Amino acid sequence: MDDALLHKLQNSHLDDDNDKRHDDSDHSDDDQDQSIGEVEVPNTMRETGPQTGPKGVIADEKYHRQMRAAQKQADLTAYNAKMLAKAPMTTTYLEDQRQAQASNELVLESRHDSDSDLDDLLEDEEQHRVFGTLADVDAQGYVDAIDNEWRTVPVVVHVFDSNLQHCRQLDALLQPLARKYALAKFIRIAAHDLDFDLVGSPAILAYKSGILVANLIRLDDEVGPVYSEETIEDLLIRHQALSEEDLYDQPEKDDSTDDE
């Protein structure tokens, strides 16, 4: 009885040992498979983002330097190939720069000449504008005419009150003078627009370059009781409000026709 029990216990122990060895073998195989699956991939083959840590940062910087150098070399190679393709017509960089600078200077010189010609033309037009009328202005127009007119253009201003007979007479006399001295500007403004008291007499003010050159406040005292075109013209010339340079010669019309 005891021998049979002992034999059974020994067999049970042997079975446990075999199971244990089998389990150990299975675990060993699993560990080996896991080890094989975890073979480290080299950094150069990774396609992950930027690495962290000192070594990772250094590796990333080295990689980017290599990429920049490779791109620079590729660009240089492409440029050299392009230059070689048109070698017979290629100039040096300095020659290109000199040619570009010379071209720019020619363009600037041409623009300067054009601007100068345009300025001369505009100045000539401003100096030789033809007016030929007695124009009505308000207070702002009066200021603009004095301040903005070309410096060589005289501005003759009639300060009037339509209730005064001599003001109406002066208007009639200034109109032909405006046509005769058409390079001068003749304007008229109501005295009340300037808060100006005429004291019963017309007034003439004349400006050049914005400067008052004739201040004829009481025109009756200068002209007398009888107004005439010659008297007003002589008065304006004497006070340097008008000159021969302000005369405008009408171009003569060619009325001749060919007789056939």
Domains of the chain: 134-246 (3.40.30.10)
What average pLDDT score do residues 189-207 get?
94
- Residue entry with tokens 């009781």: 225
What average pLDDT score do residues 52-68 get?
69
Local confidence band at 102 (pLDDT 50, 70, 90 cut-offs) = confident
Look at 140 and 25; give whichever has higher pLDDT.
Answer: 140
What average pLDDT score do residues 170-191 get?
97
Asked if the model's pLDDT at residue 166 lies above 80, the reply is yes
* Mean model confidence pLDDT for the chain: 74
Asked if the model's pLDDT at residue 120 lies above 60, the reply is no
pLDDT of 94: 56
Local confidence band at 121 (pLDDT 50, 70, 90 cut-offs) = very low
Asked if the model's pLDDT at residue 181 lies above 90, the reply is yes
pTM higher than the cut 0.85: no
pLDDT of 72: 74
pLDDT of 88: 43
Report the C-alpha dihedral over residues 207, 243, 153, 119, rounded to 10 degrees. -150
User: What are the backbone angles phi and psi of residue 185, rounded to the nearest 5°?
Assistant: -105, 125
Q: Give CA separation, 228 vs 121, 159, 178, 222, 241, in Å.
A: 38, 18, 14, 12, 17
Asked if the model's pLDDT at residue 44 lies above 50, the reply is no
Local confidence band at 42 (pLDDT 50, 70, 90 cut-offs) = very low
Rounded CA-CA distance 143/11 in Å is 132
Local confidence band at 255 (pLDDT 50, 70, 90 cut-offs) = low
pLDDT of 138: 95
In the sheet with 185-190, reading across from the earlier edge strand, the strands are 134-136, 185-190, 155-160, 203-208, 211-216
Look at 180 and 250; give whichever has higher pLDDT.
Answer: 180
Asked if the model's pLDDT at residue 130 lies above 70, the reply is yes
Q: Give me the amino acid identity at 165.
A: Q
Q: Give me the amino acid identity at 114.
A: S
